[in-house]
Amino acid sequence: MKLINLKKAIKANQFSYELALRLLRLKRVVIYNLIDGPRSLGQYIKELYNPALNQNSLEHQKKWCERARNEYIDKDHYCVGTSISNESSIGEYSKLSNEVFIPLSKDKVCLEIGCLDGKWSSEIVNNSKISYLCDLDKCVKEVLAKRLLENKIDPSKWQFHEINGLDLNNFKDKSIDFIFSMDSLTRVPKEALLNYISEAVRLMRDENSVAILHIPIVEDKECHKRRFTNINLKELISYLSNLDTIYSIKKSVYRGVLLILKPNKINFNSSKALTQLSITAQSKMPW
């Protein structure tokens, strides 16, 4: 009899334990969806009273520069994600780098929008003629210097430029061969995102120049879920139609798209590296 009662008690306790776990999980889900989550009512209210809490604001983005400086360990650690060679959660970055970015940057004057702590800079700078690395706060310059030096990259091959988060006015028209931005323009104000697109067009030197910008699209479920900058495909195409450029939009990353820009009346097929984008890291459009 005692053994039977013991078994009943164990079963009852197990049921209570599992019920408690389920209730705890439910509580976390409710709190996340109502208060803490990026699309929660609580988060919207917080941002209403303090716009700097909006992850797509310039104020919030500037804090990433401080974080990059404060969290620097060595050349193999980054404040966001992992190295290009090990990154797989947000795109086949190693293939993009080796088959597209490095060939396009070889012996060219390059400009990176949103360099942060140098994840992509480390791949490009040594291959370029000179690279202009741009971000919102000069505090990341010391991190870039450490990382690039540890990667045995000549300091004369790069310059850091602090930008205002809206344009690239400190660079002259038609002065850059290769312009790129990865993982940075997904969280900027929409006005800034569109400005950077037109600035890239302005800066491209000649028919051999190209710009590749990683941008968000709300039709992409991951972009919508994470509340990336709110721009849809129709808006983007409408804006591009007013610029003196030809463009291609590739689903070569897992969150958002790659916008490839060339000077007007230039054939995309003239570039082997750009053609490679059609078969590199491609997945079906999620919309």
| Torsional sign, CA 51, 52, 58, 61 | negative
Range of the domain at 139: 73-276
Are 120 and 39 part of one and the same domain? no
User: Tens digit of pLDDT for each residue in 174-184?
Assistant: 999 999 999 99
Lowest mean pLDDT of 150-154, 189-193, 254-258, name the range. 254-258
The answer, yes or no, to whether residue 85 has pLDDT greater than 50, is yes
**61 in any annotated domain:** no
User: Tens digit of pLDDT for each residue in 9-54?
Assistant: 555 567 776 777 777 777 665 665 555 455 555 554 654 544 445 6
Q: How many CA atoms lie within 13 A of 134 on its CB side?
A: 21
**200 in any annotated domain:** yes
User: Tens digit of pLDDT for each residue in 195-233?
Assistant: 999 999 999 999 899 999 999 999 998 888 888 999 999
**240 in any annotated domain:** yes
Q: What percent of the chain has pLDDT over 70?
A: 77
**Mean pLDDT in residue range 242-263:** 89
The answer, yes or no, to whether residue 283 has pLDDT greater than 70, is no
**22 in any annotated domain:** yes
Q: How confident is the model at residue 72 (pLDDT cuts 50, 70, 90)?
A: confident
Q: What percent of the chain has pLDDT over 90?
A: 52
Residue 14, pLDDT score? 72
Residue 287, pLDDT score? 35
Residue 182, pLDDT score? 94
Residue 282, pLDDT score? 39
Q: Which CATH number covers residue 121?
A: 3.40.50.150
Across the chain, what does the average pLDDT equal? 82
**282 in any annotated domain:** no
The answer, yes or no, to whether residue 167 has pLDDT greater than 50, is yes
How far apart are the C-alpha atoms of 286 and 198, rounded to whole Å? 26
Are 165 and 49 part of one and the same domain? no
Q: How confident is the model at residue 161 (pLDDT cuts 50, 70, 90)?
A: very high
Q: What is the pTM of this model?
A: 0.77
Question: DSSP states of the chain as a string?
Answer: -HHHHHHHHHHHHHHHHHHHHHHHHHHHHHHIIIIISTTSHHHHHHHHH-GGGSTTSHHHHHHHHHHHHHT---TT--SSS--TTT--SS--HHHHIIIIIHHHHTTSEEEEE--TTTTTHHHHGGGSSEEEEEES-GGGHHHHHHHHHHTT--GGGEEEEE--SS--TTS-TT-BSEEEE-SSGGGS-HHHHHHHHHHHHHHB-STT-EEEEEE--TTSHHHHHTT-----HHHHHHHHTTSSEEEEEE--SSSSEEEEEEETT--GGG-HHHHHTTTSS------
Are 45 and 88 part of one and the same domain? no
Q: How confident is the model at residue 82 (pLDDT cuts 50, 70, 90)?
A: confident
Residue 22, pLDDT score? 76
Strands of 109-113's sheet in order across: 158-162, 130-135, 109-113, 178-181, 210-215, 257-263, 245-250
Q: How confident is the model at residue 269 (pLDDT cuts 50, 70, 90)?
A: low
Nearest C-alpha neighbor of 257 from the set 265, 271, 275, 228: 228
**66 in any annotated domain:** no
**29 in any annotated domain:** yes
Are 81 and 207 part of one and the same domain? yes
Cβ within 8 Å of residue 89, ≥6 positions away = 81, 254
Are 11 and 78 part of one and the same domain? no
**Mean pLDDT in residue range 71-85:** 84
Residue 285, pLDDT score? 38
Residues linked to residue 261 through DSSP beta bridges, in sequence order: 211, 247
**Mean pLDDT in residue range 252-262:** 88
**284 in any annotated domain:** no
